[in-house]
Amino acid sequence: MTIQEKITQLKQQKRAVILAHIYQRPEIQDIADFVGDSLDLSQKAASATADIIVFCGVDFMAETAKILSPTKKVLIPDLAATCPMAKMITVEALRKLKAQHPGAAVVCYVNTNADIKAESDICCTSRNAVSIVNSLAEQQIIFVPDKSLGAYVAGQVPEKKFIFWEGYCPTHHRILPDYIMSLKKLHPKAITTAHPECTSAVLALADFIGSTGAIQAYVHRSADKEFIIATEEGILYTLQKSDPEKIFYHATELAVCPNMKKNTLEKVLAVLENENNEIFVEENIAAKARISIQRMLGV
């Protein structure tokens, strides 16, 4: 049996579902039951009927799945697949910020650990961040931890005052404006799409800004044929699969998230076999974090 056949067989035997983020390796995207962006994946986790969720992504995503589906066993192929941006803020720092701005609403990016979500009023993803901020009555917003996404949202909601945190995605910050300008010169007909985790200098060069799922949907419905893609390289496979006749130019080969790539097919098989690498979230933190995630899903 091939490794893919073994995974499929075990998945059926154990009533497991495999959820994969768009940045996962091609062979993982191919074996997954569902591939999507952070928002899609949290919605799938919330409605999952399987007994086991194998979450192919990074730790905060698996944690979010566990918070939304506490009775399910949530497994991650590699426990070392973590997000450096999520680690850039601590609960102590967030509490201090809240004390300094008592009237402000706290919006946390989904790229945070459960304790930060528990300290926040509402969660957001890169797909819904603008709608989430618009849904709040408060005029002051503490936005953590991604200063790039925060600046993008602030530009879309100029009437509100934002307090940012100095977090950022190292992978997206490796994409430089010069790379985009050179590609634009080489491919003048190409449309530039960018993820809002990119710097504002890169976003200023983009024709379309959106989450990974929003970029995929935009490319799919576009009549254009060539696209410059300013986000992590895993999306190129997703795009080629959904729109094989279109041409994609990756902004830079440096935009590869080493954490997203830690999951492999062998590790997916191993967690299905051994049911190890289970994700647990302390219930008192999970209960508070659930409120901020469910509030987001309700918007």
The binding site for ligand 13P (CB under 6 A) comprises 22, 37-38, 83, 111, 125-127, 169, 195, 197, 211-212
**Close Cβ partners of 99 (under 8 Å, ≥ 6 residues apart):** none
Q: Is the peptide bond before 145 cis (omega within 30 degrees of 0)?
A: yes
CB of 37 to ligand 13P, least distance (A): 3
Binding ligand SF4 (rule: CB under 6 A), the pick from 78, 115, 232, 233 is 232
Q: Does 111 engage in binding with ligand SF4 (CB under 6 A)?
A: yes
**Nearer of residues 115 and 232 to ligand 13P, judged by Cβ:** 232
Q: Does 129 engage in binding with ligand SF4 (CB under 6 A)?
A: no
Q: Is the dihedral of CA 120, 122, 128, 132 positive or negative?
A: negative
CB of 31 to ligand SF4, least distance (A): 20
Q: Does 112 engage in binding with ligand SF4 (CB under 6 A)?
A: no
**Nearer of residues 29 and 171 to ligand SF4, judged by Cβ:** 171
* Residue among 293, 299, 267 at smallest CA distance from 111: 293
Q: Which does 128 bind (CB under 5 to 8 A by kind): ligand SF4, ligand 13P, none?
A: none
Q: Which does 259 bind (CB under 5 to 8 A by kind): ligand SF4, ligand 13P, none?
A: ligand SF4
Q: Which does 84 bind (CB under 5 to 8 A by kind): ligand SF4, ligand 13P, none?
A: ligand SF4
35 in Cβ contact with 21 (< 8 Å) = yes
Span from 134-142, 152-160, 170-178, 272-280 in contact with ligand SF4 (CB under 6 A):
170-178
DSSP secondary structure string, 92-150?
HHHHHHHHHSTTPEEEEESSS-HHHHHTSSEEE-TTTHHHHHHH-S-SEEEEESBHHHH
CB of 260 to ligand SF4, least distance (A): 5
**Nearer of residues 22 and 202 to ligand 13P, judged by Cβ:** 22
* Residue among 226, 225, 232, 228 at smallest CA distance from 198: 232
Q: Does 171 engage in binding with ligand SF4 (CB under 6 A)?
A: yes
Extract the tokens encoding 18. 């495999």
| 41-54 CB burial, b ≥16 within 10 A, e <16 | bbebbbebebebbb
Span from 24-32, 81-89, 116-124, 206-214 in contact with ligand SF4 (CB under 6 A):
81-89
| CA–CA distance, 18 with 297 (Å, rounded to integer) | 21
Binding ligand SF4 (rule: CB under 6 A), the pick from 3, 73, 84, 155 is 84
Query: Which residue in the block uniquely carries the two structure tokens 């408060």?
Result: 138
